Amino acid sequence: MLKHNFSAGPCILPQEVFKKAADAVIDFNDLSILEISHRSKDFVAVMEKAQSLALEHLGLTDKGYKALFLGGGASMQFLMVAYNLLENKAAYLNTGTWSAKAIKEAKLFGEVIEVASSKADNYNHIPKDYTVPSDVDYFHFQTNNTIFGTQLQSTPDVSVPLICDMSSDIFSRQRDFEKYDLIYAGAQKNMGPAGTTLIVVKEDILGKVSRQIPSMLSYQTHISKDSMFNTPPVFPIYVSMLTLEWLKEYGGIGAIEKLNNQKADLIYNEIDRNPLFKGFVINKEDRSKMNATFVLANDAHSKKFDSLWKEAGINGLNGHRSVGGYRASMYNALSLESVQTLVDVMQHLEKQA
């Protein structure tokens, strides 16, 4: 049976990528991709291609940015951002669990101003009315909140460096990425397997803090060594490169955004139409196009619904414990047909109720 993978992460990847990655495990220029030296010309070419494609997709080639592939996940970036950029005080927007964790790490290095938060409402919306002080070192926010299913639909207009965690919607929609001074994203949501993190940083924002930064935590160190200061996560970077190649062949961010809009419209139209379901996010304009969160209007239907979607070959639909209910994660590689399968199940439940 065809499996429809709605997992929030590690997430669905293109079938073509799986095939190429599997082949490379057995034979990548006479060795396995798992055993080649990261200093070999073959892997250096992989790293350079991955970095080049990341900048190309974001429209940042030759514009003063560097792309890094590092370990430690986005959680490591919560620390590294503040270590490298926070001299006196920084502003943060708190829209979810991961924002709160980023704030916690930043407080180790300086004053943190929480300009707005939706925590009191269990992060069921994106705060709108807030002001970012002009004297902060940077403003940090997340574009998409995987757990709660909210997403910022526009880029904040601020006069300070803009730092963004795009872990769960990187490469999914077009934006003016030149407005951002540093973007980071764990690969396992939309780009590759768990194990590497993409950082795209404008070089001219670095080197301005007075503290001494440990070599391993310095962006400048990793830039000077082309992401090879230590042994990089070879296989996750290789698969990320394959996924970025797949995205280019598909038509780039502009083309995939159209598909993502179709998928989001399909599931949200059903949530709004079907009386058995209701969305978790209170404002429709805050709904994530990557992670649709919803609950049953009556829990008495949960056993039947769970049985139906599992029988249909759907995987990973359970919501996060912070929200409950269900979460349909619709990353780039998920097909429109998979979303239609979920909608069909929801309609089938309605007919049986």
Return the bridge partners of 67, or none.
200
Provide φ and ψ at 323, rounded to 5°: -120, -40
- Which entry of 66, 189, 202, 263 is annotated as an active-site residue? 189
Is 286 a residue of the active site? Answer: no
Give the Cβ contact number of residue 22 at 10 Å. Answer: 10
Contacts of 198 (CB under 8 A, 6+ apart): 54, 67, 68, 69, 170, 183, 184, 185, 187, 191, 240
Is 98 a residue of the active site? Answer: yes
Provide φ and ψ at 131, rounded to 5°: -125, 135
Give the Cβ contact number of residue 295 at 10 Å. Answer: 17
Q: Give the residue from 320, 331, 57, 281 showing the smallest Cα distance to 152.
A: 281
**163 vs 160: CA distance, rounded Å:** 9
Is 62 a residue of the active site? Answer: no
What does 120-156 look like in DSSP terms, one character per residue? GGTT-S---S----TTSS-EEEESEETTTTEE--S--
Structure tokens at 132: 């970012």
Provide φ and ψ at 150, rounded to 5°: -110, 160
Contacts of 23 (CB under 8 A, 6+ apart): none
Contacts of 350 (CB under 8 A, 6+ apart): 274, 275, 276
Structure tokens at 291: 């992670």
- Which entry of 20, 137, 165, 169 is annotated as an active-site residue? 165
In the annotated binding site for pyridoxal 5'-phosphate, the residues are 74-75, 98, 146, 165, 188, 230-231
In the annotated binding site for L-glutamate, the residues are 39
Query: Angle 104-99-169 (CA atoms, 0-180°, nearest 5)?
Result: 145
Strands lying side by side in the sheet with 277-279: 277-279, 291-296, 326-329
Q: Are 317 and 294 in contact (CB under 8 A)?
A: no
Q: Give the residue from 48, 44, 114, 110 showing the smallest Cα distance to 81.
A: 110
Question: Among all residues, which ones are annotated catalytic?
Answer: 98, 165, 189
